[in-house]
């Protein structure tokens, strides 16, 4: 996909990976439409990247329900949707606050799925588009203290695979991004729970994971959209885990070759 002049909606854009994505897409010639709760930092980043700011809380289903329409009314058609926003939950599952399961699932899975549902018909009417869902290796492997977070990311990853199958033959493409540790505030908070922190340390000591700079993630995503690649997996040394999970999905694609993926209108 040619990125020059394309409008890219990025959620969770005020800091961390989201900020790096905004800058990388702007450097590639795209126009960022930025979503986050932090209005001041969002507007500052929009000014720096030549984009637009659209403050919203993705934990509020009412705001999510009208978000795509609102942004397209304020800024123009969305060509690329990057579902990056995410929140962590690090605790023993039964000890977590009463509303944490709903809140994490809402932001990490339900909001991205709903934004896809809103964006896809609009993209199809305009002749094409691209969807990027930022997931995690925590959706593949299991760490103590990350039950709710891991389940939400596993849902997002499998949703993206299903969406890819649903869109087969149509001009809307998908990219699933599966990330190991990226130095951000979210990762730092995960270290507050000792079983999770010690698990991370063990995996890193054994060489299965290493920190990936957020700028590297952003450049990988931009390249994947430009080349319409299905996956971005970082760090590369963790790729075997992703490939093991992906194998049944790819096999199903082969088994269903020739079966229509859309109902006839």
Mean pLDDT of 101-109: 96
The ranges assigned to domains in the chain are 7-253
Higher pLDDT, 225 or 183: 225
Q: Quick one: pLDDT at residue 187?
A: 67
- Which residues, listed in sequence order, are joined to residue 80 by a DSSP beta bridge? 8, 130
Q: Quick one: pLDDT at residue 183?
A: 85
> 184-193, 219-228, 251-260: lowest mean pLDDT where?
184-193
pLDDT at residue 155 is higher than 90: yes
Mean pLDDT of 113-142: 96
pLDDT at residue 265 is higher than 70: no
| H, E, C per residue of the chain | CCCCCCEEEEECCCCHHHHHHHHHHHHCCCEEEEECCCHHHHHHHHHHHCCEECCCCCCCHHHHHCHHHHHHHHCCCCCEEEECCCCCCCCCHHHCCCCHHHHHHHHHHHHHHHHHHHHHHHHHHHCCEEEEEEEEHHHCCCCCCCHHHHHHHHHHHHHHHHHHHHCCCCCEEEEEEEECCCCCHHHHHHCCCHHHHHHHHHHHHCCCCCCCCHHHHHHHHHHHHHHCCCEEEECHHHHHHHHHHHHHHHHHHHHCCCCCCCCCC
Pairing of strands 52-53, 172-179: unpaired
Higher pLDDT, 22 or 90: 22
CATH number of 7-253: 3.40.50.720
Strand order in the sheet with 7-11: 52-53, 31-35, 7-11, 80-83, 129-136, 172-179, 231-234
Confidence of residue 119 (pLDDT cuts 50, 70, 90): very high
- pTM of the model as a whole: 0.94
Q: Quick one: pLDDT at residue 124?
A: 98
Catalytic residue positions? Answer: 135, 149, 153
Mean pLDDT of 116-125: 98
**Tens of pLDDT along 162-215?**
999 999 999 999 999 999 989 877 667 777 888 888 888 898 888 888 899 999
**Tens of pLDDT along 23-42?**
999 999 999 999 999 999 99
Q: Quick one: pLDDT at residue 142?
A: 86
**Tens of pLDDT along 76-101?**
999 999 999 999 888 889 998 889 99
């Amino acid at each position: 996909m040619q990125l020059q002049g394309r409008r890219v909606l990025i959620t969770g854009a005020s800091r961390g990976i989201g900020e790096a994505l905004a800058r990388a897409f702007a450097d590639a010639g795209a126009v960022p439409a930025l979503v986050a709760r932090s209005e001041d930092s969002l507007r500052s980043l929009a000014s720096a990247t030549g984009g637009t700011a659209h403050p919203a809380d993705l934990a509020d289903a009412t705001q999510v329900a009208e978000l795509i329409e609102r942004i397209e009314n304020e800024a123009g058609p969305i060509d690329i949707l990057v579902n990056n926003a995410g929140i962590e939950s690090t605790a023993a599952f039964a000890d977590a606050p009463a509303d944490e399961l709903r809140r994490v699932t809402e932001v990490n899975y339900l909001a991205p799925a709903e934004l896809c549902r809103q964006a896809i018909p609009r993209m199809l009417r305009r002749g094409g588009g691209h969807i990027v869902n930022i997931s995690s290796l925590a959706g593949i492997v299991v760490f103590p203290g990350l039950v709710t977070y891991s389940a939400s990311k596993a849902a997002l990853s499998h949703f993206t695979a299903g969406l890819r199958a649903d869109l087969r033959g149509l001009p809307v493409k998908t990219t699933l991004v599966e990330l190991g540790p990226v130095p951000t505030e979210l990762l730092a908070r995960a270290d507050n729970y000792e079983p999770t922190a010690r698990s991370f340390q063990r995996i890193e000591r054994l060489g299965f994971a290493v920190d990936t700079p957020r700028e590297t993630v952003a450049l990988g995503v931009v390249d994947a959209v430009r080349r319409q690649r299905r996956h971005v997996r970082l760090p590369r040394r963790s790729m075997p885990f992703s490939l093991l999970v992906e194998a049944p999905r790819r096999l199903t694609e082969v088994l269903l070759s020739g079966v229509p993926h859309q109902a006839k209108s």
